């Protein structure tokens, strides 16, 4: 996600001529437009298994606290073992939603997040999936080509324990 403020349109009309290397990766806007969405619409993502290696690799760069990178020290932590960085859980939850295709070519960036709550630890071997619901739709007053969609993200592990809840405001394109 990224802040969206400029006036330039994100998407030009797709021209699938095959001449541009971007044609097949960015201009195929198969995602939902702002106007395709209704409050209450819910999207279920696929799943991803977090290995201990993935957890430690992420944490070494972004969050190298003992309970994320050190198996010995982590046994002495309140978690009893290594757990995933909360930042990794957030980013992978977004990745899972991105992979549904809802945002493909129509998401123009993001304003921010609210009510981010890490509700339960994520341990090595846990398999996460998410459920994403449209909470608020706000058309832009000044820019008729876009609107803001507040999505509620809920992430669960393989035992249906909710590990993360958050809202995120996406800027979504409107058809011309």
C-alpha dihedral sign at 122, 128, 134, 140: positive
Residue whose CB is less far from its own copies, 38 or 160: 160
User: For residues 31 and 133, which CB has a smaller minimum distance to its own copies in the complex?
Assistant: 31
Rounded to whole angstroms, the Cα distance separating 49 from 42 reads 22
Place of tokens 């802040």: 3
Minimum distance from CB of 131 to its own copies (Å)? 18
Nearest to 129 by CA among 165, 160, 156, 94: 156
Residues that bind its own copies (CB under 8 A): 1-12, 20-22, 25-27, 61-68, 70, 72-73, 76-80, 83-88, 90-92, 94-95, 98, 103, 105, 107-122, 163, 166
Q: At what angle do helices 52-62 and 86-98 cross, to 10 degrees?
A: 110
Residues 6+ away with beta carbon under 8 Å from 15: 23, 27
Least CB distance to its own copies at residue 113 (A) = 4
Is 40 or 53 the residue whose CB approaches its own copies more closely? 53
Q: Please choose, from the candidates 98, 106, 117, 101, the residue with its C-alpha nearest in 3D space to the C-alpha of residue 35.
A: 106
Q: CB 129 → its own copies: shortest distance, Å?
A: 16
- Extract the tokens encoding 156: 């669960």
Q: Which C-beta is closer to its own copies: that of 90 or that of 134?
A: 90
Q: How far is the CB of 126 from its own copies (least distance, A)?
A: 13
* CA dihedral (98, 104, 110, 115) positive or negative: negative
Q: Provide the minimum distance between the beta carbon of 117 and its own copies in the complex, in angstroms, as a whole number.
A: 4
22/38 with CB nearer its own copies: 22
């Amino acid at each position: 996600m990224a802040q969206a403020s400029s006036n330039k349109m994100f998407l030009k009309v797709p021209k699938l001529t095959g001449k541009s290397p971007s044609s097949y990766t960015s201009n195929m806007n198969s995602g939902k437009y702002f106007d395709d969405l209704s409050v209450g619409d819910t999207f279920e993502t696929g799943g991803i298994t977090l290995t201990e290696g993935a957890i430690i690799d992420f944490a070494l760069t972004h969050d190298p606290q003992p309970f994320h990178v050190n198996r010995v020290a982590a046994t002495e932590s309140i978690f009893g073992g290594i757990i995933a960085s909360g930042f990794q859980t957030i980013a992978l939850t977004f990745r899972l939603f991105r992979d549904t295709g809802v945002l493909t070519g129509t998401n123009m960036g993001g304003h921010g997040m609210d009510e981010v709550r890490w509700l339960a630890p994520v341990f090595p071997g846990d398999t996460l999936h998410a459920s994403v619901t449209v909470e608020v739709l706000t058309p832009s007053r000044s820019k008729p080509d876009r609107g803001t969609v507040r999505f509620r993200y809920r992430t669960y592990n393989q035992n249906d324990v909710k590990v993360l809840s958050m809202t995120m405001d996406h800027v979504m394109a409107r058809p011309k």
